[in-house]
Chains A and B, each alone.
Chain A
């Protein structure tokens, strides 16, 4: 994930940016160079301009403590200090949330409301998001560590945009009438599935909430949503706004908590009709297995990736360097679709590596609340340690460390923008999802070779292709076994564009018209007809 605005800004010189996204936000990229990446995080930590108001579970329209009374701390990635204690949901809380969602679906108003009424609530919600833009953005940055400018200018506006997109779908969900082979009138109804369980990750807490809630609500389902334990705060705030917008109680229930407890309870619940999960491939396998062992609820999975970014010999190297840099480093490298295998044609390889290194060294790392900062801290100590382990692994396996390689500053979870060249396909850093600011640059000779190597992964989430040649673009676009191919661009995430994985990157598509399938059941209704005028 990411948003279009970032990409259109970063590629501002390449293409004219879209009108929708040129409203706010003057800089991001340009201004960033003014800051050195050395000192910023060592300065005083900026106090976020927001108060934490909601730390309880949102069940049946009310904020409540967990049944056990337990809480867990959510931490500031800039310092590792506690932001707030949050209610820790467990099996019993998931049960309560499911009872509320079940009632709101089986007896409640939501699926019985007209689609137009549902859409109006979602439109009002989008308006409220805009009204509270800065507050939401501050909370998101505080909890996650991403730059405030990215939250305020890109992600929160995108949140409103995604909900308006789905609000527009609510009254456009059509079934079909179907040609029969005989004297029967055949129609299909596209019905809501029922209670949807949704488990979202910490890297784009609110965007992932919108990808999940938007289609579920537009289609008339009710929801039990579990946030990531690293980033529980912003969802609770927008949960309140949803109810301010007129959402009936029980339609959306939000449970903060941990995967093995609250998450597993959702995936294996017998009264949940569908589960959607975004996270790692290993956890995705567990989720699917829990669904298989319980009630066979339908599962959509959006999982890991090791996406190739392919720079062909005819590419404009400066533009390719900038886009490859963005493809990997955006959001501290914490994107499932990060362009984390940069394949560069041998003729431009040396020049590319030199420029990629220079660009990484220029990257402004520091307190995400500071203006002009491009990169904040990683989300927590576990991710931080994991990334440093992969960096050591890259060095040990003989890749050339061009830039970075260590932590940045002395507190929090900042990591230097890191670039490896001379990376080989069999190195761990070229195979595993690192989920951090570590670019690995590989060399290739010809298209057949790079297609085979790019596809030689258990993942298949996304790919970038950089070329001016139409034949090359068309060929790679078909040959790459991935769910998204960005040609001369990357991380373009319009609401209409479907996103999801081939192979072990997942099952199903989110966003766009395709996402509706995840939240609809198809019912065929066949009636015998007498004396039909036509068949």
Chain B
């Protein structure tokens, strides 16, 4: 998932005019930063750890408008990926806490004020929330960076503003959800009502904690649903903070309940709960299958899934190589490579392959890795030791399968989970590094000869989340856009995540679409209402 258009439009500033919306204020820092960064060496991770300028104020479950301990009293530690040290102990939600949260959400939906409020009132709560997010953007960004390891500049200038932007987008939808009147075959008046589904269960990942929160909570609230949201155990902190802001914005108690905890316990009980009417999950394909199975075996709640990917990034021979290298680098390395839509199979036409590899290597070597709170840093640590080990395992697999390690391949520094920006060339389609989702800073560069071949190879995967296409030819762009079995095709750009653009997967990358008008379907039931007509003036 996610990045947002600001990062991409900044990175692609030289190719396309950046939008007035995105060129305001804070954007400038990052832009300047990306020029300055080259001054920092990759050794910065070894320097002293910077203290985040934020307090951890909320570590308890948010249920029915109150922050409460887990029923069991248990807590779990959330760790600083820079060091592996404990940031805070957080309430560990389990089945009983999910039950409590569902009960509160059920009441807020069945009896409570939320779906009975006017859509305009709901939109105003969301707009006030967006204002509060902006007001607290520095604390939120610091907390997000601390818990996740992403760069503070990215959190502050790209992600938190995007959270506010998304909630304003969905606030605008609240009073624009129209049903239809429907032509009948006889003397009937037919209409459809687009109703909220009820209680939505939402399970979000750790790579973009607040953006994924916004993608899920935004449409659910705009459509009048109430929510039980489970955060990832790696990144529980920021959701509690914005949960508090939602209460300040006037959200009634019980409308949004937030449970921190683990997938096998809290997540599973949410997915299999008989009183949860809908489930949305973002995470791995394997877990997505489990979630869908739990829904099937419980109450058949509709499920939207946003899962893994192994997205191709295709550089044609007519592409401007320097721009393609920069964008392919961004497509893979953004957010420490922890994007489900990462451009993790870089297909380069044979005529430009050698030049591309040389320049991609040079770009990766220049990537500035270090403490994410330091200015100008491009890459922080991976989220945790498990992901760190997994990425290192894939790097070893790449070497063993005889891909050429162009750069990187090892840890940065000796503490935390920093990994060197790594580039493999001469990658073959059947190597594990070209098939599995690595979810780390490992670029795999493959060679192709012609369009037919690259279309076939790009589609030869169980995934179908996104694709990048780099070409100046309109015919090539049009042809490849249709042929790729992927939910998003970025042509001469990547990771453009405007609120209005739908996002989601073909094949085993998921079901349904988030963002844009399409996301509303996930949180609405359609009810047909039919009445006979006496002496109608027209049919």
- CB-nearest residue of chain B relative to A294? B289
A530 touches B16 (CB 8 A): yes
Alpha-carbon gap, A118 to B5, bound state (A): 39
B437 at the binding interface (Cβ < 8 Å): no
Whether A285 touches B296, Cβ cut-off 8 Å, given contacts A487-B530, A521-B506, A526-B488, is yes
Asked if residues A15 and B297 are in contact (CB atoms below 8 Å), the reply is no
User: Are B498 and A184 in contact, with the CB atoms below 8 A?
Assistant: yes
Interface residues of B in 4-19 (CB under 8 A from A): 5-6, 9, 12, 15-19
Which one of A82-90, A146-154, A172-180, A209-217 is at the B interface?
A172-180
Query: A residues within 8 A CB of B501?
Result: 178, 180, 186, 524, 526
Task: Give chain B residues whose Cβ lies under 8 Å from the Cβ of A289.
Answer: 292-293, 296-297
Is A532 a contact partner of B502 (Cβ separation < 8 A)? no
Contact of A410 with B by CB under 8 A: no
Q: Report if A296-B498 is in contact (Cβ < 8 Å); known contacts: A496-B183, A504-B299, A523-B487.
A: no
Q: Does B73 lie at the interface of the complex (its beta carbon under 8 Å from any beta carbon of A)?
A: no
Answer whether residue B51 sits at the interface, using C-beta atoms and an 8 A cutoff.
Answer: no
Interface residues on B, range: 35 or more
B157 → chain A closest CB, angstroms: 14
User: Which residue of the partner chain, among A180, A487, A513, A528, contacts B15 with CB atoms under 8 Å?
Assistant: A528
Q: Name the A residues within 8 Å of B293 (CB-CB).
A: 289, 292-293
Q: Is the CB of A15 within 8 A of B296?
A: no
B135-143, B381-389, B401-409, B521-529 - interface stretch: B521-529
Say yes or no: is B187 at the interface (Cβ < 8 Å to chain A).
yes
Bound form: Cα–Cα A487–B491 in Å: 50
Question: Does A281 lie within 8 Å of B186, measured CB to CB?
Answer: no
Give complex CA distance A525, B492 in Å: 11
Distance A535 CA – B16 CA, assembled complex (angstroms): 13
Contact with A along B1-45 (1 / 0, CB 8 A): 000011001001001111111100000000000000000000000
Residues from 468 to 516 in A contacting B, C-beta threshold 8 Å: 473, 477-478, 482-489, 492, 494-500, 502-504, 506-509, 512-514
The interface stretch among B89-97, B188-196, B213-221, B423-431 is: B188-196
**Chain B hits for A292, CB < 8 A:** 289-293, 295-296
Instruction: Please tell me if the beta carbons of B526 and A509 are within 8 angstroms of each other in the complex.
Output: yes
Are A483 and B526 in touch, CB under 8 angstroms?
yes
**With the chains together, A176 CA to B529 CA distance in Å?**
28
Q: Are A15 and B533 in contact (CB under 8 A)?
A: yes
- Given A512-B182, A535-B19 in contact, is the A525-B481 Cβ separation under 8 Å? yes
Q: Which of A17-25, A120-128, A136-144 contacts B (4 or more CB under 8 A)?
A: A17-25
Q: Are B496 and A180 in contact (CB under 8 A)?
A: yes
Q: Could you tell me if B19 and A514 are in contact, using CB atoms closer than 8 angstroms?
A: no
The digit string for A78-118, where 1 denotes a CB below 8 A from any CB of B, is 00000000000000000000000000000000000000000
A19 to B302 alpha-carbon distance, docked (Å): 39
The answer to the question of B185 belonging to the interface, with a C-beta cut-off of 8 Å to chain A, is yes
Question: Number of contact residues on A: which range applies?
Answer: 35 or more
Q: Which residues from 177 to 221 on chain A have a C-beta closer than 8 Å to any C-beta of chain B? A: 178-184, 186, 188-189, 191
Kindly list chain A residues whose C-beta atoms are within 8 Å of the C-beta of B492: 527-528
A295-B462 in contact given A8-B186, A20-B185, A186-B501 (Cβ < 8 Å): yes
Query: Which residues on A sit within 8 Å (CB–CB) of B525?
Result: 483, 502
Measured between beta carbons, the chain A residues less than 8 angstroms from B513 are 522
A335-365 to B contact mask, C-beta < 8 Å, 1/0: 0000000000000000000000000000000
| Cβ contacts under 8 Å, B486 to chain A | 523
B residues within 8 A CB of A535? 19-20
Q: Is A239 an interface residue (CB 8 A)?
A: no
A528 touches B491 (CB 8 A): yes
Residues of A within 8 A of B508 (CB): 295-296
The answer to whether A186 and B532 have CB atoms under 8 Å apart is no
For the complex, give the distance between the alpha carbons of A438 and B279 in Å.
Answer: 36
> Known contacts A180-B5, A184-B496, A517-B521: does B289 contact A530 (CB below 8 Å)?
no
List of A residues within 8 angstroms of B22 by Cβ: 181-182
- Taken together as a complex, chains A and B put the C-alpha atoms of A182 and B5 apart, in Å, by 7
Whole-angstrom distance between the alpha carbons of A18 and B518 in the complex?
Answer: 35
Contact of B529 with A477 in the complex, beta carbons under 8 Å: yes
Residue-wise, chain B 507-522 has the 8 Å CB interface mask toward A (1 for contact) of 1101101001110010
Q: Flag whether A458 is at the interface (Cβ < 8 A).
A: yes
- Is A178 touching B487 in the complex (CB atoms < 8 A)? no
Nearest chain-B residue to A301 (Cβ)?
B300
Is A296 a contact of B288 with CB atoms below 8 Å? Answer: yes
Distance in angstroms between the alpha carbons of A196 and B47 in the assembled complex:
57
Evaluate contact between B188 and A494: CB separation under 8 angstroms: yes
Known contacts A182-B5, A184-B498, A288 near B295 by CB under 8 Å: yes
Q: Which of A16, A284, A286, A498 contacts B528 (CB 8 A)?
A: A498
A179 to chain B: which residues have CB within 8 Å?
A: 498, 500
Q: Is A529 an interface residue (CB 8 A)?
A: yes
A388 within 8 A of partner (CB): no
Decide: A15 and B187 in contact? CB cutoff 8 A: yes
Contacts of A181 in B (CB 8 A): 5, 19, 21-22, 165, 498-500
User: Could you say which residues of chain A place their CB within 8 Å of the CB of B506?
Assistant: 521, 523
User: Within the complex, what minimum Cβ distance (angstroms) separates A102 from chain B?
Assistant: 13
B64 part of interface (Cβ distance < 8 Å): no
Contact A178 B516, beta carbon cutoff 8 Å: yes
Asked whether B277 lies within 8 Å of A500 as measured between CB atoms, the reply is no
Query: Hey, which chain B residues are within 8 Å of A288, CB to CB?
Result: 292, 295-296, 300
Chain B residues in 8 Å Cβ range of A508? 302
Minimum CB distance partner of B487 in chain A: A523
Chain A proximity of B520: nearest CB distance (Å): 12
- List B contacts of A293 (CB < 8 A): 289, 293
Apart from A525-B489, A527-B492, what 20 extra A-B contacts exist at CB < 8 Å? Answer: A8-B187, A180-B19, A180-B501, A182-B6, A186-B496, A189-B481, A487-B530, A487-B531, A492-B530, A494-B184, A496-B182, A498-B192, A503-B277, A522-B487, A523-B487, A524-B501, A525-B488, A526-B493, A527-B490, A528-B493
Question: Can you list 20 A-B contacts with CB-CB less than 8 angstroms, sorted by A residue number?
Answer: A18-B539, A181-B5, A284-B300, A289-B296, A296-B507, A296-B511, A458-B299, A473-B531, A484-B529, A485-B529, A487-B530, A492-B188, A494-B188, A496-B184, A497-B190, A502-B527, A506-B300, A523-B486, A525-B489, A527-B491
